[in-house]
Amino acid sequence: MTEKIRTEHLERAAYVYVRQSSLQQVRHHREGQQRQYGLAERAQHLGFARVVVIDDDLGTSGTGRVARPGFGRLLTAVCEGTVGAVLALEASRLARNNRDWHHLIDLCGMTETLLIDDDGIYDPHLINDRLLLGLKGTMSEFELSLFRQRARQAFEQKVKRGCVLWEVPVGFVRTDEDRVDKSPDRQIQHAIQSVFQKFRELGSARQTMLYFRDEQIRLPEVVPGTGGKDVVWRLPTGSRIRQILRNPQYAGAFAYGRTGTTTVMTDGRGSTARRRKKHPEEWTVCLRDHHEGYITWDEYLHTQRMLEANVSRREAPQAGAAKRGAAMLSGLLRCGRCGRRLFVAYSGSHGQVPRYACHGGRVDRGSATCLSIGSLRVDRAVIDQVFDAIQPVGLQAALDTMDEALHDDETKRHALELALEKARYEARRARRQFDAVDPENRLVASELEQRWNQSLAQVSELESRVHLLRETSAPLTERQRARLLELGTDLRELWQHPAAPVELKKRILRTVLEEIVVATTDEPPHNVLHLHWKGGVHTELRVARNGTGQHGRVADDKAVELITELSKICDDKTIAVVLNRLGYRTGQGQTWRVHHVWNVRYCRRLPNYRHDGTWLPLEAAARELGVSNTVIKNLIADGVLPATQVVKCAPWVIARVDLQRPPVQARIQAVHDGRKLPRPIRGQDELPLK
């Protein structure tokens, strides 16, 4: 026993620390593991009566980037003063970084704990031993960094030569020379090509995913860990479609270093925060034409631009993907005051009334919204401009639609036929396996028979789908072709067709328009639109807008005029009855009620029913003069008594002061006396009565 091991050390326990850096070392490097466990016998040989083995950190790295519960237990025991010596095979087993290593040395020095490895016994309390331990920790950290540097440089050198050192995506196979070849399976090739083809048609990864799921077309996926040999067919998800569209290997390019990582400190330890994507010019390795691809490099870049443009963010320059909302210009309008992109707000009972607005003023200056415009007139005006621009190509668009419909059916039919061919092969293979087994071995024969039946059921399902598709995808008849060409000559009729999807209309507008800058004028009230076309041409368009208090559901002017006149002699309930009897409707198309009349008077600042008797209806005037209604009607018909009637069948409105006119009083007195006066001829001045 060495003189460094004293009695107070032996009275405490000896801790043996066992660690291996990875699970692979734990499984396969068993000899080194046994050597570390053998340190317990050495501790007993040195005189320690109690030995504690800590092996909680098997398969855990010692770089300090991950927490080590076993090492934490060791530090706790050292601080409590219950450890007489710490035994490890070498310094690299205790720590691979100077921070943990020197922290352990400091604690051992304060608690007079020994450190023992294969080379000797060290007392951190002694300056020479402390120096030697520091050098051992530095060399351990340097050794790890050197190993990593060598392995990384060798890996990157091989990658720069175009060697593939990872699993390739579906549609490719990795050769024995670490190269990439196209998959020889024609079904897989056709499936991958159909993804890019359908994305070019629809312009959206989500719409592409929905198409494959609606048509029940499955896409291939590689089973992880099989080297691309095992492929399963599933209905795609949105992330699966985006993985295919974003992978440059499908463009024949070999790329490495497409993402970067940043290191952040968490609980005093460095950790990697995933992950940011790099631009193609920032990739570590990018070898074009490395292998045969499914698309060209230019198509790949165009696809990436379309995917980025489909991301809808308020501050982003792109418009985002076309959605199902009724606002046709969503994503195209930009505020002429602050330069922000206008957003869409929907209102109404069913949320189908769109309006464009910009909150730039509220954000920048804390003031009101920059501008807010209705969509109805603006959308109609812009669509008319687009029709005038693209009308000459309408016939060609109709012809292209015919070809696209036929090509789409051909693509679906070809995919189903390839799947049917493979299903028939699997059925024949299952039959051969069933025929090769001993019939008396029912444990195996029953399982193979079940697999054969499943294969036959899949063949039957695919055959029925192919047969149905052949029946439903018949060529267009002459009548259908003629109708399609007729619609091509009138794009407006085609645009308003109920079957025309809103998403397609928006994509058409975005194909010809880059953006639209919007401004407003007060005198006259107009929305000024600056249309920026794709070719670089700019067009100014002025669209009239409603003034204050005006909107598309305002009451009819004749109804407002009638309410104004009737308010002189009728209350709101009577006015509503008269309007309904005359067949008038509100701006929303409803029958008139009391609150409707009140709202019109309030918005138009119209007078209320006057109770001062200034104006009288015909019946009230008859009672005032003590005659019948017929007499008053005759006076009005003869032009003796002035009265107004806004529309036919509306009540007569008579001013009370007109009842005292001499001609009126003379006729009334004659009626009371039973005398008959000659009726005046209309258009002639009346003679004064005596």
Supply the residues annotated as catalytic.
Answer: 21
CA distance 398 to 40: 86
Contacts of 514 (CB under 8 A, 6+ apart): 532, 533, 534
Helix or strand (DSSP H, E) at 377? helix 376-390
Distances (CA, A) of 204 to 240, 322, 327, 629: 13, 8, 19, 75
The length of the chain in residues reads 690
The residues with which 280 forms a beta bridge, in sequence order, are none
Report the DSSP pairing between strands 333-335 and 513-521.
Answer: parallel
Contacts of 233 (CB under 8 A, 6+ apart): 218, 219, 220, 221, 419
The residues with which 54 forms a beta bridge, in sequence order, are 17
* CB neighbourhood size of 348 (10 A): 10
CA distance 425 to 434: 14
Contacts of 460 (CB under 8 A, 6+ apart): none
Q: What angle do CA 464, 467, 468 make, to 5 degrees?
A: 85
* Encoded tokens for 550: 């005006």
Q: In what order do the strands lie in the sheet with 526-533?
A: 333-335, 513-521, 526-533, 538-544
CA distance 491 to 186: 40
The residues with which 233 forms a beta bridge, in sequence order, are 220
CA distance 344 to 342: 7
Question: 662-673 and 629-638 are packed helices; what angle lies between their axes, rounded to 10 degrees?
Answer: 140
- DSSP assignment, residue 266? E
